[in-house]
Amino acid sequence: MSKKNLNVGIVGYGFMGRTHANAFRKVVNFFDLPYTPVLKAACGRDEEKLKAYCDRWGWESSETDWRKLIERKDIDIIDICTPNDSHAEIAIAAARAGKMVMCEKPLSMDGPQGEEMVREIEKAGVANMVWYNYRRVPAVTFAKQLIDEGRLGRIFHYRAKFLQDWTISAELPQGGAGLWRLDAAAAGSGVTGDLLAHCIDTALWLNGNMDSVSAMTETFIKQRTHSLTGQVQEVKIDDACAFLARFGNGSLATFESTRYARGHKALYTLEINGENASIAWDLHDLHRLQYFDHRDRGNLRGWRSIHVTDGDHPYMSKWWVPGLQIGYEHTFVHQVADFIEGVGSGQFASPTFRDALETQYVCDAVLDSAKTGQWRDVKHA
């Protein structure tokens, strides 16, 4: 490891490649960290696009083969921003080479593949993390603090949704840049692994382990042209998924995700109802946490809309002045900050690969339940 610097080698330059590069660049301007991330090298197959990406974001060098990137002695962290079907191969090779690994969500194509990744990363003993960024929206982190303080009391209900509408057109192809999310061979699953995985990660973090699930899924458009082959092929992903869940703490939950909710672009909402208090959060109003406390004096009781922008709110003392809000991109900055703090302290920040495997197990149980029409128990990592 170069002194005081952590040299990052990123694989992939799409949407996530941009969010991560932005976070690696900005983090030291706002956070005092034990190491400084350096944008050392970016890797991708298309040389022209790679060059444009490096020029725009300031990556010092480039590689067109991720194996070469991993072999490089001057790289400390491998950051994986590729489609889901390549996470395992890259992460395992990186771990074996002694690199720290940051991996885009979901961890893997399924639970068994995730288990192999956890085995390898833990054997290598390297720092590791999966980019479930919504945990690090200050309002969501604040919700976690309120729950951990016991303010909600016994939890009865957890409710989450992630709604989009970008795949309604039957003309939209599957496969290739961006659209690999519609191709089961590259994505593993549809909304379950792509969107519900976010909801599940947050839920496990806020509300503990899930015991069992009962799910239904649907694929509304059965065939789409594949961008890479030009052939009309069967669509094998789930376009929509809804499931019921029982948590270990006795609470009941409902989860829903779809890419067919006309009018919704990225509506992630969650609500938790406890004996004493409830909280609600909405990605479209991400800097606010809604809070209701039954212990307030009766005639003053009501939902408070807390503007999570004060210096004593999570992460906010690092940014501007109270009242000025931050947004989506900052969740990635927080993730880098926590990762680097974890490297410094030796206490790896969550979600580690092992934490993310738990989400994978829930996804597996959900998909299996939808296929069999049966309740399924969730395996635990």
Between 133 and 251, name the residue whose CB sits nearer to ligand SOE. 133
87-120 b/e (C-beta count within 10 Å ≥ 16 → b)? bbebbbbbbebebbbbbbbbbbbbbebbbebbeb
Q: How far is the CB of 194 from ligand SOE (least distance, A)?
A: 5
For tokens 């900005």, the residue is: 26
Quick one: three-class SS letters along 60-118? CEEECCHHHHHHCCCCCEEEECCCHHHHHHHHHHHHHCCCEEEEECCCCCCHHHHHHHH
Between 44 and 190, name the residue whose CB sits nearer to ligand SOE. 190
Between 164 and 174, name the residue whose CB sits nearer to ligand SOE. 164
Could you say which residues in the range 241-270 bind ligand SOE, by CB under 6 A? 266
Q: How far is the CB of 324 from ligand SOE (least distance, A)?
A: 24
Q: How far is the CB of 67 from ligand SOE (least distance, A)?
A: 26
Q: How far is the CB of 164 from ligand SOE (least distance, A)?
A: 6
| Nearest residue (beta carbon) to ligand SOE | 194
Does the footprint of ligand SOE cover residue 238 (CB under 6 A)?
no
How many residues sit in the footprint of ligand SOE (CB under 6 A)?
3
Interatomic CA distance for residues 374 and 109, integer angstroms: 22
Q: Helix, strand, or coil here: 268?
A: strand
Of 270, 161, 256, whose CA–CA distance to 205 is shortest? 270
**Cis status, amide bond into 83, omega within 30 of 0:** no
Q: How far is the CB of 122 from ligand SOE (least distance, A)?
A: 25
Q: How far is the CB of 58 from ligand SOE (least distance, A)?
A: 24
Site string for ligand SOE, 133-172 (x = CB under 6 A): -------------------------------x--------
Between 194 and 355, name the residue whose CB sits nearer to ligand SOE. 194
Q: How far is the CB of 312 from ligand SOE (least distance, A)?
A: 28
State how beta strands 61-63 and 288-293 pair.
unpaired
Q: How far is the CB of 266 from ligand SOE (least distance, A)?
A: 5
| Residue 48: partners with Cβ closer than 8 Å, 6 or more residues away | none
Q: How far is the CB of 203 from ligand SOE (least distance, A)?
A: 15
State how beta strands 5-11 and 77-80 pair.
parallel
CA torsion, ordered 194, 14, 337, 319, to nearest 10 deg? -100
**Residue 218 contacts residue 209 (beta carbons within 8 Å):** no
Site string for ligand SOE, 106-135 (x = CB under 6 A): ------------------------------
Between 264 and 288, name the residue whose CB sits nearer to ligand SOE. 264
| Residue 65: partners with Cβ closer than 8 Å, 6 or more residues away | 43
Between 108 and 164, name the residue whose CB sits nearer to ligand SOE. 164
The edge-to-edge listing of strands for the beta sheet with 155-163 is 304-307, 288-293, 277-282, 267-274, 155-163, 252-258, 240-247, 210-218, 376-377
Site string for ligand SOE, 193-212 (x = CB under 6 A): -x------------------
Between 266 and 324, name the residue whose CB sits nearer to ligand SOE. 266
Q: How far is the CB of 104 from ligand SOE (least distance, A)?
A: 8
Between 52 and 266, name the residue whose CB sits nearer to ligand SOE. 266
Interatomic CA distance for residues 144 and 150, integer angstroms: 10
Between 81 and 280, name the residue whose CB sits nearer to ligand SOE. 81
Between 120 and 194, name the residue whose CB sits nearer to ligand SOE. 194
Amino acid code (one letter) for 98: G
Interatomic CA distance for residues 104 and 203, integer angstroms: 18
Interaction site with ligand SOE (CB under 6 A): 164, 194, 266
